[in-house]
Amino acid sequence: MNSWASLAAKQLFQAWAHSGVTHIPNPREEGVRAAEKWLEQWSVDSGVEVAKSLGVFPGESAASLNKTAPATSPALPPAAPSPASISPAPAPSTPAPSIPAAPMRSSSPLPSLVDGQTHWSERPLELAARNERFRLLQAEVAACRKCTEIVCRRQKTVFGVGPSNARIVMFGEAPGADEDRVGEPFVGAAGQLLDKILVASGLSREEVYIMNALRCRPPNNRTPTEAEIENCRPFFETQLETIQPEYIVCWGAVAVRAVLRSTESVGRLRGKFHTYRGAKVMVTYHPAYLLRNPEAKRLTWDDMKMLMRELGIPIPPPKRA
Ligand code: URA
Ligand code: URA
């Protein structure tokens, strides 16, 4: 291998290591198709972008990379020992001090939901480990290019905000124009209504975790496609599995499709709790829908009261007309 290719291989290998990759398939043992599929997910672009967003590449000279890179630069990355999901990331032999150690678990997507599973797949993490996983996962999100129609138009990816140990997750649809510009969920008109609903319910925006089915804005705010939801599934499922909230509120039909994998209407699913792994799931109308159909606000208030009763939050007496 020439020196340019060797350096590129080293850089890529490091990027993968620092992005939390725990397993690299060996085509000789696991088949070429498995290796190709893996490369599609962890493309050169994504490896480099992850590295950049983690601050690994800029300012690092080839010499310092050579120091920290594995002793041999493989033409094809070597296979890590199995089982993949619990093995630590392949660390460079001399880790650079500025790069935080990879967490014990990969930040990479967890195995997808087993339908009907009523408990979380892993033990809850300490707060610092949750935050570290989110930091790495956020870099993966920023580097994701799976939804080709969306990715060329997006300004910012919208990961989610709030405490990584929140009791309640507010789960929406997808970023709109404001969220795409700011990089935070629910900051536009729908977000302002959401804030009001939260305050009226004795909750604050700061104590809940707010996220969406999609991390990128669909063109003209069109409804996310099934394929787009599935592309984002590994991200939102990992976020939910990390937070392990007691309650998830699905705001609107797209959130329902993502979390409950149901195409039932909001109207039929609201009014009772459903289950997603270890969380109770409440379904209500999307704030943007409420802005267009104010008469439905009364129903969402009924839904919020159901949640407040569960949380032991006193329900204010009805205002006199
Ligand atoms: N609507 C959503 O569903 N999510 C946002 O973040 C903003 C608007
Ligand atoms: N249909 C939707 O898509 N969202 C709602 O909130 C209600 C009906």
Q: What's the whole-number average pLDDT of the chain?
A: 80
Task: Give exposure, 65-87, as e/b (b: 16+ Cβ within 10 Å).
Answer: beebbbeebeeebebbeeeeeee
Q: Which atom of ligand 1 is nearest to the CA of 288?
A: 1
Q: What confidence tens digit (pLDDT) does each residue in 148-193 have?
A: 999 999 999 999 999 999 999 999 999 999 999 999 999 999 999 9
CA atoms of 76 and 288, how far apart (whole Å):
49
Q: What confidence tens digit (pLDDT) does each residue in 2-35 have?
A: 566 666 666 666 666 555 555 666 677 667 777 7
Nearest to 139 by CA among 40, 23, 18: 18
Domain ranges of the chain: 3-85, 103-311
Token digits for 113? 């939901």
Give yes or no for residue 68 having a pLDDT over 70.
Answer: no
Q: What confidence tens digit (pLDDT) does each residue in 110-123 have?
A: 444 445 788 999 89
Question: Cα(65) to centroid of ligand 2, in Å?
Answer: 51
pLDDT band at 319 (very low <50, low <70, confident <90, very high): confident
The verdict on the CB of residue 190 being under 6 Å from ligand 1 is yes
Question: Cα(87) to centroid of ligand 1, in Å?
Answer: 36
β 279-284/274-276 pair status: antiparallel
Residue type, 59: G
Mean pLDDT within 296-304: 98
CATH of 103-311, one of 3.40.470.10, 3.40.50.360, 3.20.20.450, 1.10.10.10: 3.40.470.10
**pTM score, two decimals?**
0.69
Question: Cα(288) to centroid of ligand 2, in Å?
Answer: 9
Q: What confidence tens digit (pLDDT) does each residue in 209-230 have?
A: 999 999 999 999 999 999 999 9
Q: What confidence tens digit (pLDDT) does each residue in 52-64 have?
A: 555 444 334 333 4
CA atoms of 145 and 170, how far apart (whole Å):
25
pLDDT band at 197 (very low <50, low <70, confident <90, very high): very high
CA atoms of 74 and 139, how far apart (whole Å):
25
* CB distance 256 to 281 below 8 Å: no
